[in-house]
């Protein structure tokens, strides 16, 4: 059975088609996701795909119900091209997310009417979406720092849209990581209220939970955007990991969080595979960023109040 996808907003923002993770060696990063996190590679199985126009390598894989695109520029990275420019500035880092949209033209009109600048594939601004445009990128300056690709179609070969998906789910549930599902992407922001306004008022995201996380030293708002949760988090100062990230990079994608069934098993497995961890609280730990290629990864058994995917 295929994955059942929830949509939000008038234009049908649905499946989060991928999270893009940037590194300097796409095969090394792919092996981390495959060997340590139990990932299932479905594009670039034997060797990474090379995209000449962007001068980059990439693979696509599933970690539980999350699709990850591992990406790296051909070295030395070309600063004149978007992928090389990103790597030269940020290095190993989470790059972006992508969503499938049922009514892409309608969403483009909505964003443009609300002052959100959007760019077409290959660069340049869009004032009106052409009928044959398959994807576009809103300016991160207008989306509180999140780089997001909005597209008409699923990723080619995405296992979640295959009838075999319900069988494939068992692969990760029997893994020592004991993944239950992906929880959310965290976007670090300087101003929580303005970021929430962008996503609720402009993108029609659905508020799920707000609060203060004393352990992470941040105020946050968790929203449903399509078939995924997005957490917006404003650090209380610059002396936390999130605070240092926002101090250095401003508004930008920060971390990934997964729900697991057995936290001790997950932590033990990661430690055995040279990934150091820190218990934030009894039901939550985070990886050392150096061991997870620049991307903090949180694992928890905690429930999210109001979680539409529980």
Cβ burial of 174 (10 Å; 0-12, 13-18, 19+) is exposed
Residue 132 binned pLDDT confidence (cut-offs 50, 70, 90) = confident
Mean of per-residue pLDDT scores for the chain: 95
Residue 126 above 90 pLDDT? no
Is the pTM for the entire model greater than 0.85? yes
Cβ burial of 133 (10 Å; 0-12, 13-18, 19+) is middle
Q: What pLDDT digit, counting tens, does each position of 36-87 carry?
A: 999 999 999 999 999 998 999 999 999 999 999 999 999 999 999 999 999 9
Residue 184 binned pLDDT confidence (cut-offs 50, 70, 90) = very high
pLDDT at 122: 62
Share above pLDDT 70 across residues of the chain, in percent, rounded to a whole number:
99
**Terminus-to-terminus CA distance in the chain, angstroms?**
19
pLDDT at 123: 67
Strand-by-strand arrangement of the 297-300 sheet: 206-213, 218-225, 228-235, 179-188, 252-260, 297-300, 284-287, 277-281
Q: What is the mean pLDDT of residues 219-245?
A: 97
Q: What pLDDT digit, counting tens, does each position of 9-38 carry?
A: 999 999 999 999 999 999 999 999 999 999
Q: What pLDDT digit, counting tens, does each position of 272-300 carry?
A: 999 999 999 999 999 999 999 999 999 99
Q: What is the mean pLDDT of residues 152-181?
A: 91
Pairing of strands 66-73, 93-101: unpaired
Report whether 20 contacts 43 (CB < 8 A): no
């Amino acid at each position: 059975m295929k994955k059942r996808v929830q949509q939000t907003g008038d234009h049908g923002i649905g499946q989060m088609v991928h999270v893009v993770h940037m590194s300097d060696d796409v095969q090394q990063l792919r092996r981390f996701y495959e060997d340590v996190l139990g990932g299932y590679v479905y594009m670039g199985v034997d060797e990474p795909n090379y995209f000449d126009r962007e001068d980059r390598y990439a693979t696509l894989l599933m970690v539980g119900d999350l699709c990850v695109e591992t990406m790296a520029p051909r070295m030395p990275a070309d600063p004149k091209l978007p992928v090389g420019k990103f790597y030269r500035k940020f290095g190993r880092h989470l790059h972006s997310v992508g969503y499938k949209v049922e009514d892409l033209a309608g969403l483009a009109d909505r964003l443009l009417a609300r002052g959100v600048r959007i760019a077409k594939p290959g660069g340049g601004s869009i004032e009106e979406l052409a009928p044959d445009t398959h994807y576009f990128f809103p300016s991160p300056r207008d989306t509180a720092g999140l780089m997001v690709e909005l597209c008409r179609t699923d990723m080619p070969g995405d296992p979640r849209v295959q009838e075999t998906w319900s069988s494939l789910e068992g692969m990760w549930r029997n893994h020592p990581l004991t993944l239950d599902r992906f929880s959310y992407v965290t976007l670090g922001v300087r101003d929580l209220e303005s970021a929430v306004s962008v996503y609720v008022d402009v993108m029609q995201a659905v508020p799920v939970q707000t609060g203060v996380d004393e352990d992470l030293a941040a105020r946050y708002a968790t929203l449903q955007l399509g078939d995924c949760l997005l957490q917006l988090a404003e650090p209380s100062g610059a002396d936390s990991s999130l605070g240092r990230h926002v101090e250095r990079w401003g508004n930008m994608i920060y971390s990934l969080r997964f729900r697991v069934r057995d936290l001790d098993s997950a932590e033990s497995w990661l430690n055995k595979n040279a990934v150091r961890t820190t218990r934030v609280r009894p039901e939550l730990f985070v990886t050392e960023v150096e061991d997870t290629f620049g991307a903090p990864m949180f694992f928890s058994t905690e429930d999210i109040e109001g979680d539409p995917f529980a």
